[in-house]
Structure 1
Amino acid sequence: MKWNQLPLGPLQTNCYILSNDEQECIIFDPGEESAKLIQYIQTRKLKPLAVLLTHAHFDHIGALDQVREFFKIPAYIHEKEAKWLLDPALNGSQLFPGEPIRLKPADHILAAETELQIGSFSFKLFETPGHSPGSISYYLEEKGMVFSGDVLFKGSIGRTDLPGGNHDQLMKSIHSKLLSLPEDTIVLSGHGPVTTIADEMESNPFLNGF
């Protein structure tokens, strides 16, 4: 199983493509630049099965409709942010320059910490609110990696000054859900470079003293 990081849009939001030996793939957070993302997938002859959203802020969902319509695949999101796809005030797009984002509803609503099976891909879902109410981290236990969205970054943590943000809740999510994972777990964040749980436990200044 392989993963590739594809920063998209002016905020360089990380879209991740997780693929298996059969060339099937899962798309995480198609934030913008749909043509670039579609070409990337086609060039590598990948066969997308689904789009998984870590949360519904505008910079993580901008290319969602184009991508899922092109490949005829479903999108998954947490129930607490299902309405955000349709509402620029909730997804934050009306607060920033550019066109307000109004998307179609998600195809599947996630409502609990459970195991999600899509083809040969198996994820454990962690509810990790704080950056946003419906933030989800997708843990691929067999490969020791977690797609954490904007919860935890290399040397930093997610912002909590947007609607629905809560700093104490974010810190609780990080410590109880992410830092409890094996220390060699790879953290694939929504922005910036990849890191590990061990590195963040050792050197992330925002986690000291919590």
Structure 2
Amino acid sequence: MGTNCYILESKNDCLIVDPGGDSVKLIEWIKQKELRPQAILLTHAHFDHIGAVDDARDIYHIPVYLHEEEADWLGDPGKNGSKMFPVKQITARDADENLKPGNMKLGHFEFEVRHTPGHSPGSVSLIFHKEKYVIVGDALFQRGIGRTDLYRGDLPTLMQSITDQLLTLPDFYEVYPGHGPETTIGEEQAKNPFLI
């Protein structure tokens, strides 16, 4: 599905965001970099973002964070969407912790969690203000927005999330989406056909 998994590094520690699949490649990359994973953060619980969750969790003995709105999605192919696509049904064990809106600190990492529902009800965006970037999951893409035709997706809610929670960030903030290339808040304000 071409999902972007992000590894955030600080002083040899790392956070894993949206390990969608290919756990062997993911674990080998972390090993080569000699990193120490601290947690897995999920922007949402769709199947293409969770395929390597259990492998990474079990190898590194680290907690998985997910918004409570999707607490029962990881083990349910109907809710996480894998039942609707020509792929094997994908599941993972329940998350260990809730991702709650507000400021978070995990080891060396400090960031803000914003609830950005619409693509799915528990979608969140992770804002690293010091580094001036945001990981948005499938809420916003370069010249696009997330689909809303999956379970509990809602277009008006997504548009409000983008307007109120993402476009209020400074124009120069880099945007790292769940699929496709990075962009910036300013570029999407000016050029995204869904937002102008």
Common fold by TM > 0.5: yes
Question: Of 46, 49, 54, which aligns to 2:35?
Answer: 46
In 1, Cα distance between the equivalents of 2:57 and 2:158? 30
In 2, Cα distance between the equivalents of 1:12 and 1:101? 16
What is the TM-score normalised by the length of structure 1?
0.92
1:191 aligns with 2:149: no
Equivalent position of 2:92 in the other structure: 103
Equivalent runs, 1:45-194 vs 2, <5 Å: 45-110=34-99, 112-194=100-182
Equivalent position of 2:6 in the other structure: 16
Give identity over the alignment, percent: 50
Equivalent position of 1:4 in the other structure: none
What is the TM-score normalised by the length of structure 2?
0.98
Equivalent position of 1:27 in the other structure: 16
* Greater than 4 Å deviation, 4+ residue runs: none
Instruction: Compare relative contact order (CA 8 Å, sep 6+) and give the higher one, 1 or 2.
Output: 2
Q: Deviations over 1:84-111 (max 9, x none)?
A: 001111000111122212211101012x
Equivalent position of 1:7 in the other structure: none
* Alpha-carbon shift at residue 115 of structure 1 (Å): 1.1
> Which amino acid letter does the alignment assign opposite residue 7 of structure 2?
I
Length, aligned pairs only: 196
Q: Deviations over 1:117-159 (max 9, x none)?
A: 1001011110000000000001011111101000000000000
Q: What SS is found at the alignment partner of 2:8?
A: strand
Q: What SS is found at the alignment partner of 2:5?
A: strand
> Which amino acid letter does the alignment assign opposite residue 161 of structure 2?
S
CA contact (8 A) 2:174 2:182 kept: yes
Unmatched 5+ stretches in structure 2: none
CA contact (8 A) 2:47 2:91 kept: no
> Which amino acid letter does the alignment assign opposite residue 84 of structure 1?
W
CA contact (8 A) 2:51 2:91 kept: no
